[in-house]
Structure 1
Amino acid sequence: MRKLAIVTTHPIQYYAPIFQLLAQRGNISIKVFYTWSQAADGPKNDPGFGRDVNWDIPLLNGYEYEFVENIAAEPGSHHAAGIVNPGLIDAISQWQPSALLVIGWAYRSHLAVLKHFNDKIPVLFRGDSTLLDQKPGLKSMLRLLYLRWVYSHVNYALYPGTNTKAYFEKYGLTDKQLVFAPHAVDNQRFAASRTNEAIALRQSLGIVEDEILVLFAGKLESKKSPDLLLEAFMKLNKAGVHLLIAGNGELETALKERAKAHPRIHFMGFQNQSAMPVLYQACNLFCLPSAGPNETWGLAINEAMACGKAILASNKTGCAIDLVRPGHNGEIFEAGNLQALYNSLAALCTSAEILSTLGKASLGIIANYNFSEIAEAIEATVCAGH
C-alpha cells in the first residue's frame, strides 16, 4: 500500500474529516504531521475571532498523526516564522512515505519540506490562493518569479475551484499537474434537521414564521465586510426583514454601536461547530460580502448551501464563481459597492418563498462538493504519481 505523509499546521474541522475518510477507505496509508499545534486538545487563540477557540467536534480520531515540535519564538500560522520544526524532515523520512502532501507553503518548515522531498518522492500541494486581489506593478512581477520558483518544487496541485486553477496556471503549473479536489464541509451534518432549534432561535429573536432572516456568520473583520452588509441592511430598512450577525472580532463594538437603535438587527457571539447548522437553518438568506484581501474560498457558503439556503456573495469571495449561480440559487454583487449590495439585497428579500426556491437549488449544486470527491482525488493522484 502506498503511504502518504500529510503536512499541515493544526487540526481543523475542514480537513480532519478528509483524513478520517482516507484512513477508513484504506486505499492508501496516511500519517498527518502537525507543525503548529503542540497539544492534542485544548483551546487555541484565533486572532480573527479575537479569542481562544476550542472546536467541539472530534478532530483527531480515526487516523495516524504526530505533533512535531515547533520552536518558533512566536508560534502561529499567521506569519512565516511562526512554524519552525527542525525535526520535521527527519520525522517524515523515518515514516518512509511514497508521496507527500503539503497544505500551505508560506511557512518556513513547509517550504523546507517541499524543497527537500522534491525529486525524491511525488510532492502534492493543496492551496486555495486566487488572483482576485492582485494589482499590476513591480511587486506583482517579483511575486511571479518567486511563486514560479516555489511551485517548481510541486508535482501535483490540488485546486478547489476556478479561481485557484487560474492562480496555479499563472505560476507555472500545467494542466497535467492540476487536480480538481473541491473544498467541502460535512454536508450530511449540516443538512440533518435541526428544525425545532431553528424555530426556537427565530422566536428568541422575535422573528415570526413568514418574516425573512438574513445571516452573516464569521469573523467580524474588515476583509469580510460585515459593516457593508450592516449599512446596506439599514438602507433597505424593510419591515419583516431581519439581520443576524454571528461571530466576534475587531469590528464587533463598532457594529453594535451603529446598529443599537435598530430593532431588527441581532447579534450573537462566536458559535461552535455543533451550533452552526441551527443558525443556517434558521435563516432564509446567507450573505458573505467579503471585499478581501484573501477571501480565497468562503466555506461558510458551503455550509449554508448544505442547509438549503439562498446565497448572496461578493465577487471577491473565491467560491462565488463556482457555487453561486445568479438567478438560480442567489446573487453575486461587486465587492465594496454599497449600492450593488443594497440592490441585490432588495431583490432577494421580496419573499421567503422565493428564497426557499433558491435554497433548494443550492442543495443540488453543493452535493458534488463533498469529502469523498476530495479523498478520491488524493488517492488517484498518489497512486498515479509513482
Structure 2
Amino acid sequence: MESPVQYHAPLFQFLAKDSRFRLKVMYMSQRGVKPFYNPQLKMTLQWDIPVLEGYDYVFLNNHSPITDDGGSFWTLLNLGVHKTIAQEKFDAVWVHGYGYATCWLALLACQATGTPLFLRGESEDFFPRAKWKNQLRDLGLSVFLKQVAAALYIGSYNREFYLNHHVPEERLFYVPYNVDNDWFNVQTPERLEFRKQIRAELGLDENTVVFIMASKHRPDRYPMDVIQAFCQVPKDLNAALLVLGDGVLRPELEAYTQAYGDGRHIHFLGLIPQSKYPGYMGTGDILIHPSSETWGCAINEGISASLAVISSDQVLGWRDMVHPEVNGLIYPFHNVEALAKCIVSLAQQPERVQQMRQASRKLSEEMDFGVCADGVVAASERFGRVNHN
C-alpha cells in the first residue's frame, strides 16, 4: 500500500476485526499521516480522521533519492520490503498496483520466499496511450502478471483488463472498491439535522433539488463542464449546485459563475474536512461526476450517501455503480449540453430522484466491505500459501 488514505483504512479496520484474517499492512510512505503537499491542488493536506487505528501496520523506510512525491516509478523504493515479507511468513501478500519500484521488490520477495502474490488496482485498457507506452507497459505486465497468484478485480473494466492480459478466470476474485457505508449513512438523526441546517444557511428549502460536485478543481477532472452546464438550466427551477473541493481552477470556476450564473444557486464550499464530508454529501440529492478516470471514488461516496448520480461515460466505475435510469444517468464525456439536459431532467422530477437515491444506497450495500472480505478469503483459500504449496 502506498500510504495511509481515507479510502482504504476503513477496509483494513474491517478486515482486522474478521477472525478469518491476520492482517498486517506495509506502508511505503507516511504521506497523509503527516501533512503533505499536493502539487495538483497546490496546497498542503492532512487527513483529520484516524487512518492508522484498528489494525496492525508497519512503515517501511523509503530509500528513493526522489523527494518530489510526484508519483513516478522510482518515487517509492522501500528496500526493507523483502525482509518484512520473509520475517512475517504471510499466507499471501496483497499489493496495490505495479506502478512503483517497491511493488516489484515485493514481487521478487514473494518469489524468493514462496509467498503467493495478490494484485488489486485500477488497471484498464480503456484509455488510449502512445504506442511506445503500451509496448513498455505490456512488456512489464507480461512479467508481473505471470507471478500473480490471484487478481482482486475492483469492477467490470478491471476484470476485462485481466482477461485481456491472459490472467485465467479462475484466478479472478471480486474485491470491489467501496467506502464505509456506516460512516456515509446520511439517514441518522444527526445527519438529517445537519442537512436542514446547511440548506437553511444557504437559503435552500427541503424541496430544493440539490446537486453536488465533489471533485478536485483541476483540468483533468473537468469541473468547468458542471459549472457551464448548470448555468444553462432554467432559472425558475428549484435547484442548486454545491461545489465541494478546491484546486488551481477554483478562481476560474468562480469567475465563470459570477459572469454567467445569473442568480442561479451555485455555492462554492471549499475543501471539506474528512470528518465532516459525509454530512455535506448528505445535504445533496444528486452527485455530478464529470471526470475521465480509471474508477471514480467520489461515486462510491455518493451512492453510499444515498445520492443519485449523473456521471460521464469515461468514469470507468460507472458500469458498476450507476445503473442508468435506476439510480442515475450517464452522459457522453465533455458534452456540456448533454449534461445540462440530465440536470434539468432530474431537477424536474424530485420524486424520481428520491427513488434513485434509495436505489443508490441499496447498490452501495451490495458492494460493501463484507463482499471484499469474502473475495479475499476465497482467493486465500484457493491460492494462499497453505493451499499454494
Question: Which residue does the alignment assign to 2:54?
Answer: 62
Paired position in structure 2 for 1:319: 317
Comparing 339-348 with 193-202, greater Cα deviation is found at: 339-348
Q: Using the TM superposition, give the Cα deviation of residue 106 of structure 1 relative to its aligned residue in structure 2, in angstroms.
A: 0.4
Return the alpha-carbon distance in structure 1 between the equivalents of residues 36 and 26 of structure 2: 18
The answer to whether the 8 A contact 1:49-1:247 is kept is no
Higher mean alpha-carbon deviation, 17-26 vs 73-82, is at 73-82
Letter in 1 for 2:250: E
Amino acid at match of 1:229: V
Match of 1:231 among 228, 233, 244: 228
Separation (CA, whole Å) in 2 of partners of 1:38 and 1:341: 36
One-letter amino acid matched to 1:360: Q
- The one-letter code sitting in structure 1 at the alignment partner of 2:126 is L
Given residue 63 of structure 1, which amino acid in structure 2 is its aligned partner? Y
Deviation of 1:282 (Å): 0.9
Cα distance, 1:25 vs structure 2: 1.3
What is the root-mean-square deviation of aligned Cα atoms in Å? 1.9
2:97 aligns with one of 100, 104, 121: 104
State the partner residue of 1:148. Answer: 142
Residue in structure 2 matched with residue 125 of structure 1 by the alignment: 119
Residue 220 in 1 paired to residue 217 in 2? yes
1:345 — aligned with what? 343
User: Does the 8 Å contact 1:333/1:341 carry over to 2?
Assistant: yes
Shift of 1:136: 7.5
Partners in 1 of 2:136 and 2:34 — Cα distance? 40
Any idea what the Cα deviations from partners look like across 1:18-71, whole Å, max 9, x if unmatched? 2222221121212111112179x3322233433222222211112111111112
Q: CA 1:380/1:79 → structure 2, altered by over 3 Å: closer, same or farther? A: same
Q: Secondary structure at the match of 1:21?
A: helix
Q: Which amino acid aligns with 2:205?
A: V
What's 1:3 paired with? none
Partner of 2:377: 379
User: Do the aligned residues in 2 keep the contact of 1:181 with 1:377 (CA within 8 Å)?
Assistant: yes
C-alpha separation in 1, matches of 2:19 and 2:182: 22
Q: Percent identity?
A: 28
The answer to whether the 8 Å contact 1:36/1:77 transfers is: no
Per the alignment, residue 284 of structure 1 pairs with 285
Indicate if the aligned counterparts of 1:38 and 1:69 stay in contact, CA closer than 8 A.
Answer: no
Instruction: From 243, 246, 249, give the equivalent of 2:247.
Output: 249
**Structure 2 residues not aligned, in runs of 5+:** none
Tell me how far 1:92 sits from its aligned partner.
Answer: 2.0
| TM-score for both structures, normalised by structure 1 | 0.92
Q: Supply the AA of the counterpart residue of 2:41.
A: F
Which deviates more, 8-17 or 112-121? 112-121
Contact 2:85 2:109 in 1 (8 A): no
Q: What displacement does 1:353 show? A: 2.2
Which amino acid counterpart does residue 49 of structure 1 have in structure 2? L
Structure 1, gaps ≥5 residues long: 1-7
Quick one: which of 28, 36, 51 aligns to 1:44?
36
Do the aligned partners of 2:195 and 2:283 also contact (CA within 8 Å) in 1? yes
Aligned match of 1:5: none
